[in-house]
Amino acid sequence: MYTVKMSQTVTQRPWVVIPTYNERQNIGQLIDGLLALPVPNLMILVVDDHSPDSTGEKVQSYKDTDRVHLLDTGARIGFGASYQRGFDYAVEHKASAIIHMDADLSHDPVAVPDLIAGLADADVVIGSRYTNGISIVNWPMIRLFISLGANAYARIVTGLTARDTTSGFRAWRSDALTKTNYQAMKVDGYGFLIAMLFAAHRNGSSIAEVPIVFTERQAGKSKMSKRIMFESFLLVLKLRLNPPARS
Ligand SMILES: Nc1nc2c(ncn2[C@@H]2O[C@H](COP(=O)(O)OP(=O)(O)OP(=O)(O)O)[C@@H](O)[C@H]2O)c(=O)[nH]1
Ligand SMILES: [Mg+2]
């Protein structure tokens, strides 16, 4: 049973951080879904890499609600660097918890309260595609094999026990997030997500998983490249050989 005091502290000021590049077709539906949640104090930060499709302008159309913030990075700084900027922003705004998720509606906002509730018992909660069998809608078989293989590889090499080490849908207690020293990580894409989880594991943060249903994007284009996948493969080896110092 959750202790009321603990969950109240964490739920006081949660921020959702969403990196975007050309997500104009998706971002409105995502923001609407988040604003409709029974979490009235949930704050939303979109970190947009100055998308040419004017994703930023779409976010700005929500300026009447002070719950939606836009951080325009001014150029394509990348997924990992956008998260670094976004986390800094949320921490500066005294976030009690930080949730991060993709903009392409693969991550259903309806799961956000479950992730936040999980923080009563854990420092990090992963929205996991692989804790309840396999909960993925509309993925080609090859994509599933690559994801399962990447997860098995990351677990074996790093010693992480989570089933879904590359999920981009997670909730963090602010102190656990800060303790990862995420600013120092110089990796992009899935590698950034694995590095953060590994740092949390090394710091002794408790990591839990709650099942989510992941749905393949319907609109817009994927930005994750083979280069990013290869970099992530190398990063996992580097983490094993040269782990970050414990804090
Ligand atoms: N700010 C910023 N966001 C990015 C960048 N690349 C990807 N994103 C965002 O990161 C999230 C995940 O990217 P996706 O392209 O959906 O990657 P993915 O989910 O691994 O791949 P798919 O399943 O094929 O869509 C989305 O919200 C993207 O808009 C980038 O260079 N900068
Ligand atoms: Mg996606």
Ligand nearest to the CA of 190: 1
φ and ψ of 68, to 5 deg:
-110, 120
- Tell me if 71 sits within 8 A of 77, measured CB to CB: no
Q: Are 170 and 14 in contact (CB under 8 A)?
A: no
pLDDT at 1 (0 to 100): 42
User: 2 C-alpha to center of ligand 2: Å?
Assistant: 32
Half-sphere exposure of 21 (CA within 13 A, CB side): 17
At 148-192, the pLDDT tens digits run 999 999 999 999 999 999 999 999 999 999 999 999 998 888 899
Predicted pLDDT of residue 8: 64
- Do residues 169 and 100 lie in contact, with contact meaning Cβ atoms separated by under 8 Å? yes
Q: Which domain holds residue 153?
A: 4-241
Predicted local confidence at residue 224, as pLDDT = 77
Query: What per-residue confidence (pLDDT) applies to 175?
Result: 97
CA-to-CA distance for 239 and 30, rounded, in angstroms?
A: 34
Q: What is the SS3 string spanning the chain?
A: CCCHHHHHHHHCCEEEEEEECCCHHHHHHHHHHHHCCCCCCCEEEEEECCCCCCHHHHHHCCCCCCCEEEEECCCCCCHHHHHHHHHHHHHHCCCCEEEECCCCCCECHHHHHHHHHHCCCCCEEEEECCCCCCCEECCCHHHHHHHHHHHHHHHHHHCCCCCCCCCCCEEEEHHHHHHCCHHHCCCCHHHHHHHHHHHHHHCCCCEEEEECCEECCCCCCCCCCHHHHHHHHHHHHHHHHCCCCCC
Q: Choose one of 21, 45, 164, 227 to mutate for the ligand 1 pocket test, by most ligand atoms within 8 angstroms of C-beta.
A: 21
- Mutate which of 46, 223, 227, 228 for ligand 1? The one with the most ligand atoms within 8 Å of its CB, which is 223
Question: How many domains does the chain fold into?
Answer: 1
Task: Pick the atom of ligand 1 nearest to 168's CA.
Answer: 12
Distance CA 246, CA 64 (A): 43
Is the residue at 246 inside a domain?
Answer: no
Is residue 112 included in any domain, yes or no? yes
Alpha carbon of 4 to ligand 1 centroid (Å): 36
Is residue 247 situated within a structural domain?
A: no
pLDDT at 226: 79
Given a contact cutoff of 8 angstroms between Cβ atoms, the answer to whether 134 and 128 are in contact is no
CATH number of the CATH domain containing 206: 3.90.550.10
**Predicted pLDDT at 11:** 80
Q: Is residue 72 part of a domain?
A: yes
Res 231: pLDDT? 85
Ligand 1 atom 13: residue of nearest CA:
223
Nearest CA to ligand 1 atom 20: 224
- Centroid of ligand 1 to alpha carbon of 115 (angstroms): 21
The alpha carbon of 103 and the centre of ligand 1 are apart by a number of angstroms equal to: 7
Ligand 1 binding pocket, CB closer than 6 Å: 19-21, 23, 47, 49, 76, 78-79, 82, 102-104, 106, 168, 217, 222-224
pLDDT at residue 6 in the model: 53
Kindly state whether residue 202 falls inside one of the protein's structural domains: yes
State the first-to-last Cα distance of the chain, in angstroms, to the nearest integer: 30
Ligand 1: distance of its center to the CA of 223 in Å?
Answer: 5
Asked whether the beta carbons of 96 and 9 are under 8 A apart, the reply is yes
CB atoms within 10 A of CB 241: 8
pLDDT at 4: 42
Ligand 1 nearest-atom number relative to CA 49: 1
pLDDT beneath 70, residues of the chain: 1-8, 247
